[in-house]
Chain A
């Protein structure tokens, strides 16, 4: 079995990692500062995950993985406390959407939209797990958690994910071209 991936320039991978790292870090800052004051539907929208999904859709598994880990780590480092599973959950979302986009779907807005819907749902599950792990002694009703946390977070993130998509695509166009894409 050949476990070697298609060859890619480590220099190009490093360049992409730096650019996307800065962008994801910036989004994590905006998410944890600006939108922690101006909440949408009473929740802080997730700006990092939509960007991770854009990168995964347009730059395949490897960058999807790196972006997922970086994005999760930044979001966790700036906004998380206690137990956080974001690096793992974002990485899983990034890989899954990248694989889906390149095997079943196409590299376009529709694929990204499907990807973001799935990712937000998966991330919601991870949020519930994180909440239960972080607050073992507290008594949570799932319906309460669903209505107060998951639904507002889902729709706030979905709403803000559209501008994030276009901004991330604009950065893509500014720094990279299609020839730099994997595969």
Chain B
């Protein structure tokens, strides 16, 4: 070992190494590059360019998958957030809808302080072409009984035809089994609004028993009269869309479009009790149904 360390070869090599360390260091401190290093750099540059390009390509390739994983993870998070926001929007829409419905309900309640309402939700529809019979989520356990009127804030929907423990069925005013004592709001002309099979498909009903000279026009609002039916007086039934005179019976028939949108109905109110109108007592009568 000592033989080598004392050899001329080792001493020359050590001196060379010291020169190779000190000369570049001194030149570097002086801000100058040495020629040997520069020459090596010139030779190495094309090769370094190739190797750097290859490395960058590989790095880009690897980064692509790294980026892909990152984007994928971000995508999953965003999807979760979208789902969460959609749920919130859906909940907000439901609240908004309920709010609007309650607002209408409040208006109806203000107009008819004698009404005792039971709010209900449509949980089923039965019809081939048109929604004329609904199932609600209220029944006998909610004190619902047959023949109770069902309304929305817009007007009459129908009446309760069948009651279960926690459900009931509503026959709409479009059904042939339905008839509502009615009058023209503007003129007071009396008549009877009935469901007609031929008109049911069009979503309208008929007001009949009007004298041929009755004061009624297209666009008149028809209200319930409270006479001879389950409905309290003054509820909106709909508007006259067409007048059809019957020359043989010398009467007039009016086609009435219901005010309540029966094709898209979700929330309704069942009127459990109200102060009935009687011809003897007039509107001040206090007979409960």
A residues at B contact (CB < 8 Å): 1-5, 25-26, 28-30, 32-38, 61-62, 65-66, 68-69, 72-74, 76-78, 81-88, 91, 95, 99, 103
Contacts and interface: CB of A to CB of B under 8 A. Distances in A.
B94 interface: no
Contact of B44 (A35, A78, A87, A103): A78
Contacts of B5: 95
Given A73-B20, A84-B21, A5 B58 contact: no
Contacts of A37: 52, 55-56, 59
A25 to B, nearest CB: 7
A87 B3 CA distance: 22
Contacts of B17: 68-69, 72, 87-88, 91
B3 A2 contact: yes
18 contacts: A3-B7, A5-B7, A29-B47, A30-B51, A37-B52, A37-B59, A38-B55, A61-B10, A66-B13, A77-B36, A78-B41, A82-B25, A82-B28, A83-B25, A83-B28, A84-B25, A85-B21, A91-B13
A85 B28 CA distance: 13
A72 B21 CA distance: 9
Interface string B1-41: 10111111110011011101100110010000000110011
Interface of B: 1, 3-10, 13-14, 16-18, 20-21, 24-25, 28, 36-37, 40-41, 43-44, 47-52, 54-56, 58-59
Contacts, number: 96
B52 A36 contact: yes
Given A65-B13, A95-B10, A84 B24 contact: yes
B40 A88 contact: no
Q: Is the interface of B mostly helix, strand, loop or mixed?
A: helix
Contacts of A69: 13, 16-17, 20
Contacts of B14: 91
Contacts of B21: 84-88
A61 B55 CA distance: 35
Nearest to B62: A38
A153 B289 CA distance: 94
A32 B21 CA distance: 19
Contacts of B43: 25
B4 to A, nearest CB: 5
Nearest to A86: B21
Contact of B24 (A3, A35, A76): A76
Contacts of B18: 88
Given A33-B48, A36-B52, A82-B25, 8 more contacts: A25-B40, A30-B51, A33-B49, A35-B55, A37-B52, A38-B55, A83-B28, A88-B17
B43 to A, nearest CB: 8
Contacts of B28: 81-83
A34 B9 contact: no
B51 A34 contact: yes
Given A35-B55, A87-B20, A88-B21, A29 B1 contact: no
A3 B48 contact: no
A141 to B, nearest CB: 25
B24 A32 contact: no
Contacts of B40: 25, 74, 77-78
B1 A103 contact: yes
Contacts of B51: 29-30, 33-34
Contacts of B8: 3
Contacts of B16: 69
Contacts of A78: 40-41, 44, 48
Contact of B54 (A34, A61, A68, A84): A34
Given A78-B40, A85-B21, A32 B13 contact: no
A1 B41 contact: no
A34 B10 contact: no
B20 A34 contact: no
A70 to B, nearest CB: 9
Contacts of B1: 99, 103
Given A5-B7, A77-B40, A103-B1, A33 B13 contact: no
